[in-house]
Amino acid sequence: MRLHTAILLLAASAGAAGGTTARAEGEASPDAGRRLRRTPVVEAVEKAAPAVVSIGTTQFVPYRYFDWDFLGVREAQREARGLGSGVILHPSGLVVTNAHVINQADQVTVRLTGLDKDAPELPATILAADAAHDLALLRIERPGPFPAAAVGRGDDLMAGETVIAIGNPYGLGRTVSTGIVSALDRTITIRDREFSGLVQTDAAINQGNSGGALLNILGEWIGVNSAIYSRSGGADGISFAIPVETVNRFLASSAFSGRAFGKWAGMDLAEDGGAVGASTVWPVGPAADAGIPRGARIVELGGRPVRRLGDAVLAFVDALPRGRAAVVWEDARGRRSGEVRIEEPPTARLAWERLGIRASEVTPQLREATGFPVGSGILVTEVRGGGAAARAGLSAGDLLLAVSDATVATAEDLLAVVQQARRGETLSVTHVRPERTRFGVRADRRRIDLTVE
């Protein structure tokens, strides 16, 4: 027993002596200990953190109250505020977040850093939202450049590999947590809506982390933190992120359709088998004019090599100010090149000329005014007197649901209809017309026949 105690004491003495030596060396080289502590996680956070932002939302909620001084009912508004996170994907100030973060928001602001409490809140505009995949695209309404995330891959993730989450939980500011990939391709149901293809992780995610970045150990953005499974409301180690491949599909759809920027190139792109191809080339549009066939593999866009769908999206955004982009593609005739214009999509012009209507997607602002849900259809905003729509009985305020059994919920859907319609062709149109009755608003489905001009 005495011998054992002596050995322990000797070991303790040796440790104390060693500690003294280490401190002496540390004083001689103050950065040595810091270098030892600089782990891959630290380097990944330093690389990616500037591109992760805090998002604030404000919704003006109307309410009524009885004013005893006025002796009557008055109307007022109260502010409902929300917090979330986002990731800057392009130096021009494009930010990706969750659709539920900005849902029903009347005002959106972005704070560039959660660590600096004095950092200004910059106004932002909602460019596109996809509730089905819980994604939204914002634009900071201030000139850049802004720090942008390095985009990685989510389709080669391995269960057990280290991941890092950065966000704005509970409004505390930029917060980092780490964990591992717990599972891949998860499907969950939230409020009767199913989300699939998610990455499950045990990195701590809490309220306010939604829309923040999930990173790999290289500091590459691989997913958008979106949901948690919790019995307490806090982090229970079961979190879910939308993989970057799903984000890229949303961005490509929003960008190339013209919905996000009001500009298009006349083609849709999709990733298949490690290549990016022109999944759709519209008969009337810049891509068709440039000679790009449907199915062509896009090799370069705007001078940027296109290996992934995200490369094409960033190249398209870079080309927006110039209004054109050089394209290199491969098809059955070999490798070819040309220039594609980036211009306003012809949806409005063709709808006015061929159908006699002006129409708009239902935005959050229009939803408040009309009661129609976002994504429910195309709202008729104007009908040309004596035109095809007027003769068929359509009116401003009608909501188009389907044309010739094809659902129309986006401007892209309407564009497909009007581009393919032939003069003199009769289209069967399903629409809804709200009518006020003494029992409230009534909206019945109707079908009419419309002859294309």
Nearest to 287 by CA among 303, 269, 316, 265: 265
* CATH assignment at residue 208: 2.40.10.10
Residues 414 and 428 in one domain: yes
Distance of CA 154 to the CA centre of its chain: 16
> Annotated catalytic, 232?
no
* 66-118: pLDDT as tens digits: 666 666 777 777 777 888 899 999 999 999 999 999 887 888 999 886 545 56
Residue 25 covered by a domain: no
Show the tokens assigned to 323: 């209004």
Residue 23 covered by a domain: no
> Annotated catalytic, 210?
yes
* 195-209: pLDDT as tens digits: 889 999 999 888 888
3-state secondary structure at position 315: helix
Residues 358 and 439 in one domain: yes
- The answer to whether the beta carbons of residues 392 and 398 sit under 8 Å apart is no
Q: Which of 39-53, 71-85, 217-231 has the lowest mean pLDDT?
A: 71-85
Residues 383 and 442 in one domain: yes
How many H helices and E strands in the chain? 11, 24
Provide the pLDDT for residue 12: 30
Residues 235 and 276 in one domain: no
What sign for the dihedral angle of Cα 27, 29, 31, 35? negative
Residue 125 covered by a domain: yes
Residue 253 covered by a domain: no
Residues 351 and 334 in one domain: no
Choice among 54, 85, 90, 100 that is catalytic: 100
Provide the pLDDT for residue 424: 86
Residue 157 covered by a domain: no
Domain count for the chain, please give it.
Answer: 4
- The answer to whether the beta carbons of residues 255 and 316 sit under 8 Å apart is yes
User: Which residue, of 313, 341, 369, is where some domain finishes?
Assistant: 341
State the greatest distance between any 2 C-alpha atoms of the chain, in Å, as a whole number: 109
Q: Percent of the chain beyond pLDDT 90?
A: 40
Choice among 54, 177, 182, 210 that is catalytic: 210
Average pLDDT over residues 291-295: 93
User: Which residue, of 140, 172, 198, is where some domain finishes?
Assistant: 140
Domain with 239, as residue range(s), is 162-246
Residues 118 and 103 in one domain: yes
- The answer to whether the beta carbons of residues 174 and 115 sit under 8 Å apart is yes
Choice among 54, 85, 134, 413 that is catalytic: 134
> Annotated catalytic, 4?
no
Tell me if the bond preceding 145 is cis, omega within 30° of 0: yes
Provide the pLDDT for residue 441: 55
- Tell me how far CA of residue 137 lies from CA of 25, 194, 260, 321, in angstroms: 51, 21, 8, 19
Residue 271 covered by a domain: yes
Beta strands in 207-287 (DSSP E): 213-216, 221-228, 239-243, 267-272, 275-281
Residues 303 and 367 in one domain: no
Residues 210 and 293 in one domain: no
Residues 333 and 352 in one domain: no
* CATH assignment at residue 380: 2.30.42.10
Residue 326 covered by a domain: yes
Residues 79 and 131 in one domain: yes
* 56-76: pLDDT as tens digits: 888 877 767 666 666 677 777
Residue 207 covered by a domain: yes
Beta strands in 46-140 (DSSP E): 52-67, 72-90, 94-97, 107-111, 121-130, 135-140
- Is the pLDDT confidence value at 21 over 50? no
3-state secondary structure at position 436: strand
* 349-382: pLDDT as tens digits: 788 888 899 888 887 667 767 778 777 888 899 9
> How does 378-389 read in b/e, with b if 16+ C-beta sit within 10 Å?
bbbeebbeebbb
- The answer to whether the beta carbons of residues 326 and 337 sit under 8 Å apart is yes
> How many CB atoms neighbour CB 79 within 10 A?
10
Residue whose entry in the numeric block shows the structure tokens 């303790």: 12
Integer distance in angstroms from the first to the last C-alpha of the chain? Answer: 104
- Is the pLDDT confidence value at 325 over 80? yes
- The answer to whether the beta carbons of residues 141 and 192 sit under 8 Å apart is no
Residues 319 and 412 in one domain: no
User: Which residue, of 187, 215, 246, is where some domain finishes?
Assistant: 246
Residues 402 and 436 in one domain: yes
30/296: higher pLDDT: 296
